[in-house]
Amino acid sequence: MPLFQVVILAVVQGITEFLPISSSAHLALLPWLLHWKDQTLVFDIALHAGTLAAVLLYFWRDWFQIAAQGFGLRFGSDRELEQNRGLLWFLAAATIPVGISGLLLERYAEGVWRHNRVLIGGMLVLIGLLMLVAERLGRRTKGLGKLSFADAMVIGVAQAVAVVPGTSRSGITISAGLFRGLDRPAAARFSFLIATPAIAAAAAKGGWDLFRHGGVPPEMRLPFLLGMALSGLTGCAVIALLLSYLRTHTLQIFVYYRVIFGIIVIALATILRP
């Protein structure tokens, strides 16, 4: 795999995994548009590992505090997290739907859906419009301190839809948070927290599959390490930028991007269809 492709795909993964514009869509469409070979299982695992590293690096203090509070201990000083001592168990329960959908739908998500450009374009547009509605109707009155079990489960069920390429995990979970009355920074923060177990599970499964097939081939070791490092560093920077951006801005720019990009994808898929 050429190193320039590794760099481009890793940076695209780091950006699009956390912005609400769908990493699966970009990683499926970029090789198609540029006539590259589809990335290998090994490289997919490297990208998953990189994005997992990004959320753990950025939110490690949050996770230590959430885990400690879940077992009745005190750790950390985030006042908003202190107000919600059941957050660990909310996150655990809300992760179950995406686990179920992943088990049931993985072969479609990684197979026929991944190559259905009309589906990907349609989901880009559909979830973009959903984000717009969430912006208009969301009350934005709650932080994480007031997030309820019901709120967490609604967001968890929304995350389960993200197995469909073009959806965007962050896009649909932030939208669900807004519908449940969370403010934008809280919705985005919970979106990244609930994504962590799902990304970890995907990386672990991919790692096990890789181990069963003999590990990383010698010719893929440099692309593997480079892809993991670049996607992780890029992802960490993007998380920080998005959380800062949403303190004072809406999701509108991402809505425009998704709708325009989705329409272009559908048009190209129709024109270029064999």
Q: Please state the separation of Cα 58 from the chain's center in Å.
A: 15
Amino acid at 216: V
Q: Which of 202, 197, 205 is nearest to 173 (CA)?
A: 197
Q: Flag whether pLDDT at 164 surpasses 70.
A: yes
Residues 6+ apart with CB under 8 A from 92: 197
For residue 24, with 0-12 CB atoms within 10 Å meaning exposed, 13-18 middle and 19 or more buried, which class applies?
A: buried
Taking only the tens place, the pLDDT of each residue in 10-56 is: 999 999 999 999 998 898 888 888 888 877 668 888 898 999 999 99
Domain count, the chain: 1
| Mean of per-residue pLDDT scores for the chain | 92
The continuous run of DSSP H or E covering 5 comes out as: helix 3-16
Question: What three-state secondary structure class fits 40?
Answer: coil
| Helical residues (DSSP H) of 180-220, grouped into ranges | 184-212
Indicate the pTM of the whole model: 0.93
* Dihedral sign from CA coordinates of 96, 101, 104, 109: negative
Closest to 93 measured CA to CA, from 46, 160, 30, 28 = 160
Nearest to 171 by CA among 110, 234, 255, 97: 255
| Token representation of residue 207 | 């790692």
**Residue with structure tokens 């996150």?**
91
Structural domain containing residue 148: 3-271
Helix, strand or coil, per DSSP, at residue 197: helix
Q: List the single range of 86-100, 108-122, 245-259 with lowest mean pLDDT.
A: 108-122
pLDDT in tens, 77-98: 899 999 999 999 999 999 999 9
Predicted confidence (pLDDT) at residue 217 exceeds the cutoff of 90: no
Tokens of 269: 């898929």
pLDDT band of residue 177 (cuts 50, 70, 90) is very high
Q: What is the DSSP letter of 75?
A: -
